[in-house]
A and B are shown apart, each in its own frame.
Chain A
Amino acid sequence: MPGTQSAVSLTDVSKTYYRGEPVYALDGVSLEIPRGSYTAIMGPSGTGKSTLMNLVGCLDTPTSGRVSIDGRDAGGLSDRERTRLRGSEIGFVFQTFNLMPRLTALENVRLPQLFQDVPRGERTDRARTLLERVGLADRTEHFPNELSGGQRQRVALARALVNDPAIVLADEPSGNLDTETEAEVLDLFSEFHEAGTTLVVVTHERHVAERADRIVHLLDGAIERIERLDASDSTDGDRDRSSGAAP
């Protein structure tokens, strides 16, 4: 098991937008996200959570500093290479599910594989297996509008995992779900975490964040503090070795 390397590593990362005047969305953030860890990111609106997600998710590049995914510096990559890295190493789960409306559950799960040129047979196998694992074996041919919110989010989770990414980024994954469904989906997250998936969840909800090993509190574009949770189910000491170098 590779445990020596972080899944994602941010070193003194800053992001500045120029909207008439410079806006410092992130200011010198350093953060290690070890493999197999479960990190929650909390903070008030406009504090840089989305910017952090976009940087970790290889959707954006930092103004300064270094973002490496699985040991690779994402900043030094071309747009094309970065897209490829995103496709293979990052899985996204969104608040609004973001499934392709005209694709079935199975096709949605397979979508990321298409862009990685995974052979057809393998595609279907892995996608089906994942749908079974999220409890949707009987919903593979359903379109998103034929699925409930919880089911859609489970399809999204399966899609996020289909390319076996280094990390799954979830942005308010239960924001559109009722309490019961939320618990189901979060249980599923915990289940995959236990199976070794690296998770980062951005949330406003304390009880959602508490599912994680630790909570990174962001404030005004910087890490305010990192709160460690003694997760009862986390017995692996290595996971707690995560070092969040706050300014």
Chain B
Amino acid sequence: MMVRESLRLSWRAITGHKLRSALTIVGIVIGIAAVITFVTLGASLQAGIIGDISPDDQRSLYGWAADPDVEGGPGAGAQPIFSDSDLAAVADLEEVDAAYGYAPVGTRSIASGDQRLPQGDGVIATGPSYVRESTLADGRQFETGAREAVLNPAAAGQFEENVSVGDELTITLLGGGQTDVEVVGITDSSEGLSPFEGFENSPRVYVPTDPFYAEQVGTEGQDTGDGGLRFAAIVIEAPSADDGAVDDARSAAEAYFESDDSDAGEFLGEDLAVSLETSTELLQQLQDVLEIFQSFIVGIAAISLVVASIGIANIMLVSVTERTREIGIMKAVGAQKRDVLGLFLLEAVVLGLIGAVLGTVLGLVVGYLGAQYIDLPVVYPLEYVVLAVAVGIVVGIGSGLYPAWRAARTDPIEALRYE
């Protein structure tokens, strides 16, 4: 029997009971739409976070030393063990492009002209290349050893008169000392530049570790007996974002920290281990949590699909009983078992498919609106669209098989007598 004619017959049967068919389909629509919505939101959320990592950031390794048992985000439980000479030595490694410390500078306020704003965090002492040139909207990177700063738009815009390149800021340190800096660059985004900062928008001022961090720690010109300036967090840049290059840089740096040459090495052991991870790897942890959440929701949606398929099975069984006479007629005029089986199966599959397609469309629309609402770039998980359609077919077959089989083995003599 031809597919086209079978489809026509199935379609007639479905449209013959519009309300019933519609209600059956609604069950599948809800199940599929729920899956697609949450998968779209999940994918968009991931893209929103990963989108913050520029290609340039992918060659950076973020390092800290902490008790391996400590759980938490990047830098959790970090101890200040990396010395200036460690960083210099790592930067000299063939596999490494740059290495520098990362340290928040404790401040009390920042002033521009006559306006003084209290600011306790957001001043970050680090290496010049931490602020990548590609993220600069204006000006240049600061230079090591100079009293220069790069601001993000949130920091520059918080004063009555927008701060721009060339302006002077006065930073009051936690200890009370004041220092003037020249603004040499403004970044293009107020989001954090690395996982150390987090990714939320907030005012940030980037300054060189030398002199700012050194001044804060107070090692300038004196020996404190613990080997001088120490960083809790460091950034190591590989020459390229290529996986191999990043891994080489990581191995080389790890080998150095484990060697006797390293100042940090003497503290490392059971209680303290170095973590060197890329943004992507750090985000992976966040993604893992997201994925667990997502599978949970998808699981619930899957249950609703099972319920929906029971609905189809139920309606198909009713339909088979109701159309016993029609089955008898078809068999009398020469329909084979497989013809009848095919017709009823096709009907169930069409129901499942319509539900899947409508559910997918609804899911994408709701996912889009949701992503817009929480301000994420919308990413459509296309593989899930294909999957949803496949699920629709499978649900149709799964729920239609038994009713169709019942229809196929109907005895035509009994069926023709059926009232």
Q: Residues on A close to B: CB < 8 A?
A: 54, 57, 59-60, 79-80, 83-84, 86-88, 92, 94, 98-103, 111-112, 114-117, 120, 159, 163
Q: Contact check, A112 vs B1: say whether CB atoms are below 8 A apart.
A: no
Stretch of B232-240, B255-263, B334-342 at the chain-chain interface: B334-342
Q: Cβ of B413: which chain A residues have Cβ within 8 Å of it?
A: 54, 59-60
Number of interface residues of B (CB under 8 A): 23
Q: Contact check, B329 vs A98: say whether CB atoms are below 8 A apart.
A: yes
Shortest Cβ distance from A86 into B: residue: B334
Q: Residues on B close to A: CB < 8 A?
A: 1-2, 5, 9, 12-13, 16, 325-326, 328-337, 339, 412-413, 416
6 A–B contacts, CB within 8 A, in A order: A83-B335, A87-B333, A98-B416, A102-B16, A112-B333, A159-B333
Are A102 and B12 also in contact (CB < 8 A) when A59-B412, A59-B413, A120-B2 are? yes
Q: Cβ of A79: which chain B residues have Cβ within 8 Å of it?
A: 337
Shortest Cβ distance from B6 into A: residue: A114
| Main secondary structure on B side of the interface with A | helix
Q: How far, in angstroms, from A232 to B79 measured CA to CA in the complex?
A: 118
Q: Cβ of B334: which chain A residues have Cβ within 8 Å of it?
A: 83-84, 86-88, 112, 115-116, 163
Shortest Cβ distance from B13 into A: residue: A102
Q: Contact check, B330 vs A115: say whether CB atoms are below 8 A apart.
A: yes
Q: Contact check, A115 vs B416: say whether CB atoms are below 8 A apart.
A: no
Q: How far, in angstroms, from A116 to B335 measured CA to CA in the complex?
A: 8
- How distant is B302 from chain A, measured CB to nearest CB, in Å? 34
Q: Cβ of B326: which chain A residues have Cβ within 8 Å of it?
A: 100-101
Shortest Cβ distance from B15 into A: residue: A102
- How distant is A109 from chain B, measured CB to nearest CB, in Å? 10
Q: Cβ of A86: which chain B residues have Cβ within 8 Å of it?
A: 332-334
- How distant is A183 from chain B, measured CB to nearest CB, in Å? 26
Are A59 and B333 also in contact (CB < 8 A) when A54-B413, A102-B13, A114-B1 are? no
- How distant is A203 from chain B, measured CB to nearest CB, in Å? 17
- How distant is B54 from chain A, measured CB to nearest CB, in Å? 60
Q: How far, in angstroms, from A80 to B408 measured CA to CA in the complex?
A: 12
Q: How far, in angstroms, from A79 to B332 measured CA to CA in the complex?
A: 13
